[in-house]
Chains A and B, each alone.
Chain A
Amino acid sequence: MTEQEKLERQSKRTRMILIAVSVLFIFLMLVVPLAAIVVNSLKEGFGFYIQAITTEYVRNALKVTLIATIIAVVVNTFFGICAAWLLTKFSFKGKQVLATLIDIPFSISPVIVGLAFLMTFGRLGWTYPAIRAINQWLGTNFRIAFAIPGVVIATIFVTFPYVSREIIPVLNAQGKDEEEAAALMGAKGLKIFFKITFPQIKWALIYGIILCTSRALGEFGAVNALSKTRGETFTLPLEIDALYMSGTDVSITSAFAVSSILVIIAIIIMVVRNILEHRSNKKMEKGEA
């Protein structure tokens, strides 16, 4: 009995310590920098704040950012599920190489990503003669680099593996016995996926989509290389950079104000996810009871 009490006290103490460490870490590393942004954004008063986030430039940048983010999330979710299915349910030659290639965008410097797209679609790139020929033939002025398509592709690139990376560990931990059993019983591919696999990966998928969205919203380096015109192809991070680089006291405050839009979007996403999680937990409890 005393042994157990001691253990319980011990585990309570670990609990306290771990919670304290977590709270402290998040507070110092994440909350304070964000607080600094908010404090800075309100330095010139609330009226100025509203004015700063509703300029023509900011509205346009918000539109471009949302377009790029939505397309990137849809494309990468589709891709992520396909890739995770392929990599966890089958064995084949070159699997590890393929898995690694998918992860490449995680670690590539955004500077190189920008360079890579310019060497492909830019004026020095090898597809440029073809693009130019098509434009001359059609009488259009369609561009990939330094236009919206380039921004979208770069955003897809940097967020490419986020969804698959979140799902793969869960599917690996799960094994594939259930799917195999279902397949042997004659179930079709989509049915197996939605009835067996999907429920298991649901949370991982949502985490993946959230990571993907957050990363797409905040992407700076790669898009920076491919998007040069303010008010046209600028995303919010580029607009923030432009404001910050203006260097005056007022424009730096504006830069922080625009940054706070991204923080607000991130907070909205976080709240939505929590509601979803909460609801489904309730449902599950009811279903099991």
Chain B
Amino acid sequence: MKKNTKTTRVIPGFHLTLGITIAMLSLIVLIPLASVMVKSLQLSPAEFWRLITKKNVLYAFGTSIVCSFIAAVINLVFGLILAWTLVRYDFKGKRILDGFIELPFALPTAVAGITLSKLYSETGWFGKPLAALGIKVAYTHLGLIIALVFVGIPFVVRAVQPVLEKLDGQYEEAAYILGATPAQTFFKVILPELRPALLTGFGLAFARGIGEYGSVIYISGNSAKEHTQVISYVIMQKLNYIDYASATAIAFVMLVISFVILFLINIVQMRQSRRTNML
């Protein structure tokens, strides 16, 4: 099956689209990133290792990865609920609700960060009642996660929505007629269909979170002691002291991490699509 499609390409445009894709990709993304990587590879391996295993660098990597993961899981759950509500139900004000989803993108990350830190600081609209309950948000990991949920939510919703729209009611009707409960229908019929889209959304929100800078630096407090420094912040620290060696070494590791995450997502996605194509 696989070999067959490889030798006979029925659909036209392979060489053209391949050419355009690779040319533009190289020009805009790969060449500039390669410039950074080349620079970091000029370091000796021992030096490279020393720079990226400094304590504060490791903690920052940990903070970025763990907090982005938690935020992405939260986004996965709420993103699915939001997409489902927006596609399947009709109610007043739905369109307005729908339109709000993109706003985290349109807002400069710095403005988002400033606004969130204001809202969740102990004198803010949310921070005050939460502080009364003994929950501190601004300048803690919790604040960091909230900022990352804020920037990541459109990824999940907008990845799931189009697929959900294309998924017609037939499956569910069939499942219902066959006597499945709604819960069974959802978990056995709908969820598997949505899995690639969900995974894409999750992965994108996660990956975006790891690199996030503007929206987190105001709310996280950037304390080395409490480990609320994110990895982008540490790169910025290095750059402020013209320490290109450390900055590019950390950048190199980040490039590898994001490549691996995105690569895994793509593999899962392609597997799924191959299965649908075979059916």
List residues of chain A with CB under 8 Å of any chain B CB.
7, 10-11, 14-15, 18-19, 21-23, 25-26, 28-34, 36-37, 75, 79, 82-83, 85-86, 88-92, 95-113, 115-117, 119-120, 125-126, 153, 156-157, 160, 165-166, 168-170, 172-176, 179-180, 183-184, 188-189, 192-193, 200, 203-204, 207, 210-211, 214-215, 217-221, 236-237, 240-241, 244, 255-256, 259, 262-263, 265-267, 269-271, 273-274
- By a CB distance below 8 angstroms, the chain A residues around B239 are 111, 115
User: How many A-B contacts if CB must be within 8 Å?
Assistant: 330
A115 touches B266 (CB 8 A): no
Residues of A close to B14: CB separation below 8 A: 86, 89-90, 92
Rounded to whole angstroms, the CA-CA distance of A125 and B32 in the bound complex is 10
Given known A36-B125, A112-B251, A120-B32, contact A172–B108 (CB-CB < 8 A): no
User: B84 touching A95 by the CB < 8 A rule?
Assistant: no
How far, in whole Å, are A269 and B35 apart by their CA atoms in the complex? 36
B221 in the interface (beta carbon within 8 A): no
Question: Which residues from chain A contact B28 at a C-beta distance below 8 Å?
Answer: 153, 156-157, 160
Q: Would A33 and B119 count as touching, CB distance under 8 A?
A: yes
User: Judging by beta carbons under 8 Å apart, are A175 and B162 in contact?
Assistant: no
What would 20 A/B residue contacts be, using CB atoms closer than 8 Å?
A10-B182, A22-B86, A23-B93, A26-B97, A26-B101, A86-B18, A100-B266, A108-B255, A109-B235, A110-B211, A112-B211, A115-B247, A117-B32, A214-B106, A217-B105, A221-B213, A221-B214, A259-B111, A262-B108, A269-B106
Complex: chain A residue closest to B193, CB-CB: A173
Q: Judge if B267 is at the interface, Cβ distance under 8 Å.
A: yes
Residue of B nearest to A270 (CB): B99
Q: Which of B251-272 contact A (CB under 8 A)?
A: 251, 254-255, 258-259, 261-263, 265-267, 269-270, 272
CA A126 – CA B95 in complex, angstroms? 49
User: Given A30-B104, A220-B108, A91–B263 Cβ distance below 8 Å?
Assistant: no
Q: Which residues of B contact A (CB under 8 A)?
A: 2, 5-6, 9-14, 16-18, 20-22, 24-25, 28-33, 35-36, 39, 78, 81-82, 84-86, 89, 91, 93, 95, 97-112, 114-116, 118-119, 125-126, 146, 149-150, 153-154, 158-159, 161-163, 165-167, 181-182, 193, 196-197, 200, 204, 207-208, 210-214, 231-232, 235-236, 239, 247-248, 251, 254-255, 258-259, 261-263, 265-267, 269-270, 272-273, 276-277
For A156, the chain B residues whose CB sits under 8 A away are: 28
Q: Is the interface of A mostly helix, strand, loop or mixed?
A: helix
Q: How far does the alpha carbon of A170 sit from the alpha carbon of B159 in the complex, in Å? A: 9
Measured between beta carbons, the chain A residues less than 8 angstroms from B247 are: 115
Task: State A236–B10 Cα separation when bound (angstroms).
Answer: 47
